[in-house]
Amino acid sequence: MKKGSILLLLLMTALVGCSRSPAPMPSATVTAIPTLGVIGGGGTVTASAEVVPIQYAELGLPGDGVVAEVLVTEGDEVEAGQLLLRLSATQQMASVSQAEAHLRQAQIQLDRLRAGADPREIEVVLASLEAAQAGLAQLMEDVHPEQLAAAEAAVVSARTALQTLLAGPDEDAITIAAADLRRADIGLKQAQWAYDEVAFGDDVGESSEAAELEQATLDYETAVANYHMAVDSPDQESIDAARAQLAAAESDLAILQRGATDAEIAIAGAEVRRAQAQYEMVKSGVRLEDIADAESEVLAAEAGLAEAQAAVAAAELYAPFAGTVTSLHVSPGEVISSVPGYALLTLADLAHLKVDATDLSERDVTEVDVGQPVIVYVEALGQNIEGRVMRIARQATVVGGDVVYKVEVSLDEQPPDLRWGMSAEVEITTE
């Protein structure tokens, strides 16, 4: 076919196509997307759970010490307030005794101040003042020959007594003491024999024989004491006392011989002023400030006693509620330390268990309300237990990257075989 014929044929074909009506476009079909229900379907949500006591506690003590006594074992049921164990509290008890003594002293002082000065107390204070005044006057007066002679005699007597002690037992004194002891022994035996002769009379207790026996017994005991004093060597305490007495006598004699110094007179004058001030205070009565100070001292002593008693209480562990000792981590003689979180034992109320749902998702928790019915399936028992939502956590926890909430479930009944720690599955009805 020639080139011109081909072009003509193409042109005719195009014109024919342009004269036809356009083909209708197919209409789009709309398919409805099904709405996704809540996870768990059928108006319920599910979660894993664990059986736990409604009340339990890990118990410890705030202080350190040695365990003196453990009064319970694992599995024991205890009452609220029952003593479970105690630490050794010897030092704490001593502190209580000291605090009690301090409180008694403070209270006695307060009572004395409130009652005012006792006449006998005034007499004692006045006597102290007069003695101080006499001592000062003696220092400031001239020494009389009689005073000097008496002081010299006191020194001689004290020196002789000390030398006698240092010399030890004297043979002549021992001989005399032994003879006196023999005579006293014979006299006692004779008096006993005379008393025995009339011992069956009705009035033997008032007889002359009874009086003679009593005197003979006293004479014998005295003779025994004198004999031991003559025979025994003096002890160091007696020697020290004799030396102190000699030193005091020599000091008094030296003062009389040389006269009082200005320093001694000043000290004696200060003692007179102190005694005078004390006498004036007692005589004039008690000031309100003194009573207030005494009352403050009593309050401080009471606080000290309370603190000491609290230290004793801190050494004893009591049950805060009735329950069962489920675990025990300490033994008598063990040294414990007040480390935070260190538990000595675990106490739980196993008579009242609940179920804690541990992994309810944040999507499901919005469907759950307190009071909704729950079916609890306990795998270990192969049993369903009915219950209700008791509490919903206000704060989430993150487990494996998932945000979950804790939900507590109360049980309508508690099977006898239900145990703390059993795993469970909860199904909460949300409709």
Q: Residue 118 — very low, low, confident or very high, per pLDDT cuts 50/70/90?
A: low
Domain shared by 107 and 142, yes or no: no
| Three-state SS annotation for 90-117 | HHHHHHHHHHHHHHHHHHHHHHHHHHCC
Domain shared by 383 and 397, yes or no: yes
395 within domain boundaries: yes
**Per-residue confidence (pLDDT) for residue 32, from 0 to 100:** 36
Q: Which residue has the higher pLDDT, 35 or 231?
A: 231
Domain shared by 249 and 383, yes or no: no
**Per-residue confidence (pLDDT) for residue 373, from 0 to 100:** 95
Domain shared by 108 and 207, yes or no: no
- Do the beta carbons of residue 92 and residue 312 sit within 8 Å? yes
**Per-residue confidence (pLDDT) for residue 84, from 0 to 100:** 93
Q: Which domain holds residue 304?
A: 94-116+289-313
Q: Phi first, then psi: what are they for 263, rounded to 5°?
A: -65, -45
34 within domain boundaries: no
187 within domain boundaries: yes
CATH code of the domain in which 369 resides: 2.40.30.170
163 within domain boundaries: yes
pLDDT beyond 70 at 191 = yes
**Per-residue confidence (pLDDT) for residue 53, from 0 to 100:** 95
Q: How many domains does the chain have?
A: 4
- Do the beta carbons of residue 341 and residue 368 sit within 8 Å? no
The continuous run of DSSP H or E covering 358 comes out as strand 353-361
Q: What is the pLDDT of residues 26-53, one digit of tens each?
A: 433 333 333 323 334 458 999 999 999 9
**Per-residue confidence (pLDDT) for residue 121, from 0 to 100:** 72
Domain shared by 131 and 143, yes or no: yes
Name the token pair of 426. Answer: 């909860």
9 within domain boundaries: no
**Per-residue confidence (pLDDT) for residue 76, from 0 to 100:** 94
pLDDT beyond 90 at 64 = no
Q: Residue 149 — very low, low, confident or very high, per pLDDT cuts 50/70/90?
A: confident
Q: What is the pLDDT of residues 356-402, one digit of tens each?
A: 998 899 999 999 999 999 999 999 999 999 999 999 999 999 988 88
Q: Which residue has the higher pLDDT, 149 or 82?
A: 82
Q: Residue 431 — very low, low, confident or very high, per pLDDT cuts 50/70/90?
A: confident
Domain shared by 295 and 258, yes or no: no
5 within domain boundaries: no
